[in-house]
Amino acid sequence: MLLRHLSLRDFPLRHFPFQAPRLPRRGGPLALACAALLALHGAPAVAGTLRVASAFDPQTMDPHALALLYHSRVAFQVYDTLVSRDEQFRLEPALATEWKQLNPSTWRLTLRQGVSFHDGSPFTVDDAVFSLERAMGPGSQRSFQLTGVAAVKKIDAATIELQLKQPDAVLPDKLLYVAMMSRAWCRQHGVEKAQDFNAKQETFAVRNANGTGAFKLVSYAPDAKLELVKNPAWWGWKDAKRSGNLDGAVFLPIKSDATRLAALSSGEVDVVLDPPFQDVARLKQDAKISVRSTTDLGTQYLTFDQARNELTNGDVKDRNPFKDVRVRRAVAHAINVDLIIQKVLRGQATPTGSFFSPMVDGYDATLDKRLPYDPGKAKALLAEAGYPNGFGVTLDCVNVAWREAVCQAASAMLTQVGIRTQLRSSPTNQFFPKLSQGTASFIEFGWTPTTDPWNTLNGLVRTHDPAGGGTFNAGRYSNPQLDTLIDAVRVEPDLVKRRARVGVALRLIADEMPYLPLYRRTLNWATSKKVQLVQWPNDTLELRWVKLAP
């Protein structure tokens, strides 16, 4: 017989504890607590300073140590890269003014002249060579982007060459988020190598910075406050398009959803980058608040340990159920993503079965349809795979409210079909090393890609390689056929052929399901009415374009 469609009656209410918190009246207890919290943080009330609240702390200021959204959205206000993006999210020159492919394996870049670091020292070709080598070196989580670069060479005072092991027709896309650092500053402070974030290494570059970017770091107190001040000497201010008027910015990690919104309502902060989903509709009706929304470039996934013969965090001995694709498909059939979007995310997401979003080159719409929600099919697949009584496993999730809520709902649905799922939430500094080190048995995470497909394929599904491949392959999935395809995508100069190879890779991923795509969020930013900004689809607020009315 067929099981009936899942409804909320199938789950205890504790699985959906997501009632919208009500904002206090001005001067109420929560508002006073929020004001006291922000006073403790030392948030300035100086005109021209943008105050930004988010649930996440950037973790470090070393620009090569992490490749996380919450790190990048702060660190790259301070550090420039060779290429950047414009208001329309198109590739544009930054510290490289032009680039040219001399032959299939050589790219030449011309560097911008007259640029200075925040300490007043000039940005030189030696700094560019050093920075690229540092990004490719030990500890760096940016090395996966530069796979295939054999050498970086100084040609003259304004020119560098990147020599490649194989051809690469789209190399400039891979230079996004590879920060340019001062070689002299790094040597002076003993940070010639990137911080080893996974080992919790403390270095001078964690709380200090010296970039060439539009804003300078004033201070960084982890999990408390990060303060920036405008760099009036930034080369980009000469361009009328970069017409922001900020004097500075303060980033405040405020984990409590209610406290973040109370701070916005009371005027203690100007921007909340992650308003709770359940509050978005109400915020849109608030005359004092603007809500900006766009579709996420990224995707939320579940992924599975496929390296170990026995699950580290499971109750099955001498076996790893997730190595069987039937079990992975059972997980897909067991989770009602539509219901999670409706009840947990309040409709602020789009379900997806695609490994890529439509904004990534090579996206295949035929792969976007999810496997249907069918708990009966899930149970049958588990029995067919040799688990008629199911098994137990721990699901790792970061301890941010909406992520926990989704994980909690998914855990309940999986438990109903026999995959007895225990949720384990961790703070960001404990959670993200589990992802990059591949130590979780079952993990939920999000990935914000570039528009180039190779970066995501190489970072997430290529066989893990300390030299840069599979840096964020959390399940340590390995398929030599897919590795060959990914390498072929990197070196193929013909765009049509390249897209065809991406399509083959995506279909293989869909068949083997090393990742289970869940949904793409609607990105909502809540701001005061006095803020004008540009909203990118990668959830990054670029301060260079922000205007703050008096």
Rounded to whole angstroms, the Cα distance separating 64 from 221 reads 19
- Pair 186, 62: CB distance under 8 Å: no
Q: Give the pLDDT of residue 395.
A: 97
Q: Give the pLDDT of residue 292.
A: 96
- Give the pair of three-digit tokens for residue 246: 């900020």
Q: Give the pLDDT of residue 169.
A: 78
Residues 6+ apart with CB under 8 A from 183: 126, 127, 130, 131
The number of domains in the chain is 2
HEC string of 522-533 equals EEEEEEECCEEC
Which mean pLDDT values do the consecutive 10-residue runs of the chain (550 residues) have? Answer: 35 39 37 42 64 95 92 96 94 97 95 98 98 95 91 98 90 94 98 94 97 98 96 89 88 94 95 95 94 94 95 93 98 98 96 94 93 97 97 95 94 98 92 91 93 93 87 95 94 90 96 96 96 94 94
Burial annotation 183-200 (CB, 10 A radius, 16+ → b, else e): bbbbeeeebebbbebbee
Instruction: Answer yes or no: is 215 within a domain.
Output: no
Instruction: Answer yes or no: is 272 within a domain.
Output: no
pLDDT in tens, 26-70: 334 344 334 435 444 444 445 699 999 999 999 999 999 988 888
Instruction: Answer yes or no: is 488 within a domain.
Output: yes
Q: Give the pLDDT of residue 27.
A: 39
**CATH, residue 307:** 3.10.105.10
Q: Which residue, 188, 217, 249, sits at the end of a domain?
A: 188
**CATH, residue 163:** 3.90.76.10
Q: Give the pLDDT of residue 242.
A: 67
Pairing of strands 149-156, 106-111: unpaired
Q: Say whether both 184 and 314 belong to one domain.
A: no
Instruction: Answer yes or no: is 343 within a domain.
Output: yes
Burial annotation 354-367 (CB, 10 A radius, 16+ → b, else e): bbbbebbbbbbeeb
Q: Which residue, 188, 211, 226, sits at the end of a domain?
A: 188
Question: Identity (one letter) of the amino acid at 112?
Answer: R
| 3-class DSSP assignment, residue 411 | helix
- Give the pair of three-digit tokens for residue 284: 């849109």
Q: Give the pLDDT of residue 47.
A: 61
Q: Which residue, 161, 188, 215, sits at the end of a domain?
A: 188
Helix or strand holding residue 160 (H, E): strand 159-164
- Give the pair of three-digit tokens for residue 220: 């960084």
Instruction: Answer yes or no: is 13 within a domain.
Output: no
Instruction: Answer yes or no: is 468 within a domain.
Output: yes
Give the structural domain span for 486. Answer: 297-522
Q: Give the pLDDT of residue 187.
A: 98
DSSP one-letter code for 477: -
Instruction: Answer yes or no: is 452 within a domain.
Output: yes
- Give the pair of three-digit tokens for residue 173: 């896309």
Instruction: Answer yes or no: is 280 within a domain.
Output: no
Q: Say whether both 310 and 456 belong to one domain.
A: yes
